[in-house]
Amino acid sequence: MSLREPLKPPPLLSVRDLSVRFCQGDGEVTAVAGVSFEIQRGECFALVGESGSGKSVTALSVMRLLLSQGTSLLGDVLLDGVDLFSLPEQAMETFRGGRIGMVFQDPMTSLNPVLSIGYQLGEVIARHQGLHGEQQRLEAIAWLDQVGLPDPPAQLKAFPHQLSGGMRQPRPLM
């Protein structure tokens, strides 16, 4: 019998040698310099660093949401083996919000202040799951339940300013 190492499952997310540079005036700012990490399925991963060290820019790069002109983005991001940086934008839109999501740092500017929580969740559910009407409402209630918000049907009618800061940035209960 041969002694073999147990097979390590392929990572869910793999970031390899990510570098991000922004053009600023005549020069360049290096926001991320050669960052690599892997996240396994079901793993809770924390990226820690001082203010301005590039955590948000790393997350925004993975989501392909860095829109500044003249931004140089190098490296590879693989989600379940799919190279996100090579995907056409249309395919990326299916991944973004479908397979990979982001809780933004400032929820007051991420959520639309004039649309109810139910409407904003409904847009995502319609786009990625094709659900409408009552089915969509039930799915939104299930989502809010998953993140432990009390009275989900009432939250659907609420507007962002009626939720607390923490309620605007919920995470699934572990």
# chain residues binding ligand ATP, by CB under 6 A: 14
Strands (E), the chain: 13-24, 27-39, 72-79, 82-83
Long-range contacts of 85-92 (CB under 8 A, 24+ apart): 92/64
* Residue among 53, 135, 146, 162 that touches ligand ATP (CB under 6 A): 53
CB of 49 to Mg ion, least distance (A): 9
Chain-centroid distance, C-alpha 174: 17
Q: Tell me: does residue 51 bind ligand ATP (CB under 6 A).
A: yes
Contact partner, 72, from Mg ion, ligand ATP, none, Cβ < 5-8 Å per class: none
Give the span between the Cα atoms of 3 and 166, in whole angstroms: 49
CB of 135 to ligand ATP, least distance (A): 37
Q: Tell me: does residue 56 bind Mg ion (CB under 5 A).
A: yes
Contact partner, 40, from Mg ion, ligand ATP, none, Cβ < 5-8 Å per class: none
Give the span between the Cα atoms of 118 and 140, in whole angstroms: 7
- Can you give the binding site for ligand ATP, defined by CB under 6 A? 22, 24, 29, 31, 49, 51-57, 68, 105
